[in-house]
Amino acid sequence: MSQICVALLIIYFLQSSFRSNATPVPGKVTAELKQIIQEKQVADIMISFDVPSSVTLKKISMKTKAINNRAEKLTMISEALETQSMISQKGALELLKSEKSLKSRVLWITNQLSIKEASGALIYKLTALDEVTEIDVDPSTEVFDPVKTSNVSQIKNAPPRSRKSKFGQLTYGLEAIKVPEVWSLGYYGQGVVIGIIDSGIDYLHDALRDSFVGTNNYGWHDPIVGAELPFDYRGHGTHCLGSIVGHNGIGVAPGARWMGCVIT
């Protein structure tokens, strides 16, 4: 009889342990994600972990300050961030081994994990991990194609360019936001490097080619096809960057330089 009681107690505690591990920890799942799971049963999620990248960078800050070589410094930073993400995300990645059909991506720079079409059951399991601090929706943004029209009369002509400057004849937009007044104080964006994440960049554009930092200075990254030189898939990135640093009277800060990355 005593052996039976012991066996029953063992089964009870094992079942209790399983139930507690399967129960979501309050506060880890955002309200928006809960709503989506209730409506669709699956969602694209972003998981945050207990050691943010800022903490990792602070730990190695004294070492990185002592390194003058930029390549060596970046290597130390990337290795530290990748190592921490491996430690923090080990448990979550173990859970994903049983979900082979799911697509996931380790974002080691921010120590986050992106999972496509995660089920409510998987999300609940993930919340039981102590190292998981938050699970939120991983939103996607649709890029719309330009509106096409065959009626030329519907297209309004832009106001003519106004006065000339050392950077070319100004567009009406720069006049409207009083950029010349800032330039008159000697501020053109000099000494600043602008980073843009968009559809890409046409680095041969007349207004942009002279201010590219160059590929030797880690000025370009294409995670889609691995293009070694800047390339614009849709034209949107070139347009936006032109408004920021474009020469010939187009950009607000023509004295600045730029670097870029592609997103889909």
**DSSP string of 13-60?**
HHHHHHHHHHSPPTTSB-HHHHHHHHHHSEEEEEEEESS-HHHHHHHT
Confidence label for 104 from pLDDT (cuts 50, 70 and 90): very high
Domain that holds residue 217: 161-262
Single out the residue in 137, 169, 200 at which a domain terminates. Answer: 137
CATH code, domain carrying 242:
3.40.50.200
Domains of the chain: total: 2
Which tokens sit at 216? 């030797």
Whether 202 and 96 share a structural domain: no
Single out the residue in 102, 137, 172 at which a domain terminates. Answer: 137
Whether 130 and 41 share a structural domain: yes
Confidence label for 168 from pLDDT (cuts 50, 70 and 90): confident
Residue pLDDT, tens place only, 204-257: 999 999 999 998 878 999 988 889 999 998 899 999 999 999 999 899 999 999
Q: How far apart are CA 198 and CA 232, in angstroms?
A: 9
For residue 153, the SS3 value is helix
Decide if 77 is inside a domain: yes
Whether 31 and 131 share a structural domain: yes
Decide if 62 is inside a domain: yes
Closest among 134, 123, 101 to 41, alpha carbons compared: 123
Whether 98 and 181 share a structural domain: no
Q: How far apart are CA 33 and CA 31, in angstroms?
A: 5
pLDDT > 90 in the chain, percent: 66
